[in-house]
Structure 1
Amino acid sequence: MLLTDGGEPLRTAAPAARWTVEQVLALAPDDASRKAGNKLGSAGPWSDTGRDGPGAVWGLCRGSGSKPYRTVVDTTGPAYKCSCPSRKFPCKHALGLLLLRASDEAAVPVADPPGWAGEWLEGRRRRADEVASAEEQAEGGEVPAAGPADPVAALRRAERRAERIGGGVQELEQRLTDLVRGGLAAAEQSGYGLWDETAARMVDAQAPGLAGRVRELGAIPASGPGWPVRLLEECALLHLLDTAWQGIDGLPGPLAATVRTRVGLTAPAAGPPVRDHWLVLAQYDTPEGKIVARRIWLYGRESGRTALLLSFGAAGRSPGQALPVGVTLDAELTPYPGSGQLRAELRTQFGTPEQTGARPPGVTVTGAVAAYGRALADDPWLDSWPVTLRDVIPVPSAQGWQLADAEGDAALPVAQAALSRPALWKLVALSGGGPLTVFGACGHRGFDPLAAWPAAGGGGGGGTDSAPAPAPHTAPVAAETVPLI
């Protein structure tokens, strides 16, 4: 079981994989921590460093005080402990220690952990043994399951919430109708006030998904030329969601689950578990109000399935769940309900993550657009769909940048969001005018690149002009994953 700071460690008998600099930096909670960690990534401020076989790394880092900071990292979690006062996880000292090992393994020799590090590691591993023992007993039927919740009370709560959401949906429909009747120009004059008030009413109705989409409407009038068209499109999607909620009892099961998720009702991961060798494609954080959401994209080598791990952290703290980009882990995932079934929960990990040099099979630009179209048929509110493009070249155009087929006449515009990040220039530098394999999100706003692989070794590992499919006979091409976010 992969656990994080504050949880229990993964039991492992094999040596942990050595992380690359890019993978370490991907763990940073923010840019400030990334820069500060970089400054501590050399041997200068460190003393008494060491590591052990199961994956622990420790050291003393000189700071402004008289005593050095004690830093220890269990990379099998990963989990971190540092005597510094920082409330960020990982802190700059943990990042610096991992960067030191990534760039100069000789500076972190194999050794027995000192007492202060050993106590923490021993406690984590002891608790892991207890968790494993409890799981084994539960599987053998020796531990009685907890009693079920009162089904009648649960049904009443669900009915009351459905009534509140229904009232919120009717109010939202009335406000959308008033906007269209009065003309979209009124939205530009009222600014954010109208939408903030409406979003607050959706929160009161216990429909946070509707509230989030309503808040986004407030920014559209200030988004530049063509905003009335974009506002009308988003209002139409909201109307479609309202209508779907009102007729949810007549929808197919997967689509009904998607509608509930879009409205803001949560459901546990309850699909059939999928065990596979999962390649970590990308990891990035995005602020969502007062919390930070972390998205980790995985690709299953045997199943050909793409999965999303989603976790959240309070303001100023990164979410606990973290995986180094580019590693492959043998693990079991449980999908959440919904049409696309992209989101999943990481259940059990078997062994330690490894560097395999694998990459996912790719599709052409035409295949990527077709995959997004099929996904829209299942979820009309989908902004984008994860795809891997094979043999594409970043080229400039009159409207910005595009990813063009190396041997075709099709191209996808690079999404505006990527143009303001270093992603585009890393992509151009990696390409050097040659073809690449690129993983990202393909949607109505263009293609947002999240990771890339150079063309050395030949192409992107095969595929067809359709959604990614299992490729059991395709040998992985050795290449390091280059994160673009």
Structure 2
Amino acid sequence: MTQQGVRWTAEQVLALAPDDASRTAGSRLGAAGPWSQSGCDRSGAVWGLCEGSGGKPYRTVIDTNGPGYQCTCPSRKLPCKHAVGLLLLWVEDERAVPVAAVPEWVERWLDGRGERAGHGEGGPTDGDSTVVDPEAARRRAEKRAARVTAGATELEQRLADLLRGGIAAAERPGYGLWEETAARMVDAQAPGLAARVRELGATVGSGPGWPMRLLEECALLHLLDRAWLGRDALPEPLAATVRSHVGLPTPPRARTPAVRDSWQVLAQYDTADAKLTTRRIWLYGRESGRWAMVLDFGAAGRAPGIALPVGLAIDADLTPYPGAGRLRAALGERYAAPVAPDGPPPGGTTTEAVERYGRALQDDPWLDACPAMLTEVIPVPPQDGDGGWQLADAKGDLALPVARAATARAGLWKLLALSGGAPVTVFGECGHRGFTPLAAWPEGDREAVALT
């Protein structure tokens, strides 16, 4: 413990790493051997010099309040392996990274961060822009809407052709047809439609019952197409939800006022395709009782810029996006160093989680999942012939199936080890594909264990 808040756990540091390679390389650098002139101060800065392959050591500095990073190594990853290693050293060995006077080169970087924040760069991080000609912006928006409409109309015809030929015949053309259709949606400037078409292609032949799953996804995509084509008749919150699912950006002026709270960071995980890495961060407002998701993006091979310490709480502004039932928010100003919260957020039963998801679908029919805290559940691994993991309510309530995509993660076995057959508190995403566990608290424990 220091006056700047708390020294994080090694697990929280590793959760910030952009990929497995960075975690492995950073762990090797989490020892005192390669480091010199390391130190930290009570405002949240951590710094050090790390021996590298060149003649000069790499200068690495971290602002744990952000967190923000800078290193003189050539890596484009953020944080790089040196930053991960230095944070691990800071976590594990206070003598190797003692409280010290701030070097001049560290002070310059910190001052630069402060100046950028003062000029507005510390505000919401995913979409704010400079002032533009409103008339030119209106014309661009109209042209894009026309392209999206043409794409949605074409997609409706392709869905009709698919159903006319029969769902069972969808395997014959192979994945190329789906990718070609998705490319057409990208040309129509509708990335949300393109992503859903690719999901259709991935559903075909994905295991027993795939025709029914494909039909369900086609129905949701058809509903989204029709909603876009008839958006002028929709209530504005639902129209905003449709625009978001289609992939249109939300202008900053359309967002609601910021909410300042102590936001508990519950989970952070990345998904990637050939072009983009998407980072999802789940937060819970300790005072407001609100849920929020911060999304950030990085180009292929590069980690997104936002990374928050899982398990801690940050005093910050979040600006919610418009839309019925939408939980996405833009991260704004942060007012203090992260601190340890007093245990997990309040939770409920498995039945309450399913009912909450059902109510959320009334506002957003395309919602894949919503956040849920489950108390007193026991993880149950696959039994002979029953096919999958489950989270069983310790009091005999509904047992939730674990989502198929989550069953391949090592986190489920970590969850089983944490439980040891006893009830645990679990945070995750509850949706029509099942429950995806993301963090857990053993009975009576205040510290979260990340499962991603």
TM-score where L is the length of structure 1? 0.86
**Unpaired segments ≥5 residues, structure 1:** 1-13, 136-145, 457-477
Which whole-Å deviations, capped at 9, do the CAs of 1:281-333 have from their partners, x for residues lacking one?
01111113312111111001122111000111122221111110111122221
- Say whether residues 1:180 and 2:163 are aligned partners: yes
Match of 1:161 in 2: 144
Q: 1:374 to 1:483 in 2, by over 3 A?
A: same
Gaps of 5+ in 2: 124-129
2: CA distance, partners of 1:277 / 1:122: 26
Whether 1:325 aligns to 2:310 is yes
Residue 104 (structure 1) aligned with residue 61 (structure 2): no
Q: Residue 446 of structure 1 corresponds to which residue in structure 2? A: 434
1:100 maps to amino acid? L
Q: How does 1:126-141 map to 2 (within 5 A)?
A: 126-128=115-117, 130-131=118-119
The DSSP-based 3-state class of the residue aligned with 1:277 is strand
Give the structure 1 partner of residue 126 of structure 2.
Answer: none
1:412 aligned partner? 400
Residue-by-residue CA offset, 1:26-60 (whole Å, 9 max, x unaligned): 11000000011111111122222111111111112
CA positional deviation for 1:411: 0.6
1:148 positional shift:
6.4
Residue 179 of structure 2 is aligned with which of 168, 181, 196? Answer: 196
Mapped to 2, the partners of 1:296 and 1:288 lie a distance apart of: 18
SS in 2 for 1:222: coil
Does the 8 Å CA contact 1:16/1:54 hold for their aligned counterparts? no
Aligned to 1:366, the other structure's residue is in SS state helix
Q: 2:234 aligned with 1:251, yes or no?
A: yes
Closer, same or farther: CA 254–102 of 1 in aligned 2, 3 Å? same
State the number of aligned residues: 441
Are the counterparts in 2 of residues 268 and 336 from structure 1 also a CA contact under 8 Å? no
Output the CA distance in 1 between the equivalents of 2:406 and 2:313.
Answer: 26
Instruction: In structure 2, give the amino acid aligned to 1:319.
Output: P
Aligned counterparts, 1:72-471, within 5 A: 72-128=61-117, 130-131=118-119, 149-151=133-135, 153-269=136-252, 270-396=255-381, 397=383, 398-456=386-444
Contact 1:16 1:75 in 2 (8 A): no
Q: CA RMSD in A?
A: 2.2
Superposition TM-score, scaled by structure 2 size: 0.92
| Aligned equivalents of 2:352, 2:8: Cα separation in 1 | 33
**What amino acid maps onto 2:243 in structure 1?**
R
Relative to structure 2, which stretch is displaced further, 219-228 or 335-344? 219-228
For residues 66 and 150 of structure 1, the distance between their equivalents in structure 2, rounded to whole angstroms, comes to: 53
Cα distance, 1:335–1:66 mapped onto 2, change above 3 Å = same
Offset of 1:434 from its aligned partner? 0.9
The percent of aligned pairs where both chains have the same amino acid is 67
Q: Residues 156 and 67 from structure 1, CA distance in 2 versus in 1: closer, same or farther, beyond 3 angstroms?
A: closer
CA distance in 2, matches of 1:332, 1:64: 41
1:168 partner SS? helix
Residue number in structure 1 paired with 2:17: 28
The 3 A distance-change label for structure 1 pair 323 and 484 is same
Distance 1:318 1:402, change over 3 A: same
Cα-to-partner distance string for 1:68-96 (whole Å, 9 max, x where unaligned): 22221121221222222222111111111
| Corresponding residue SS for 1:198 | helix
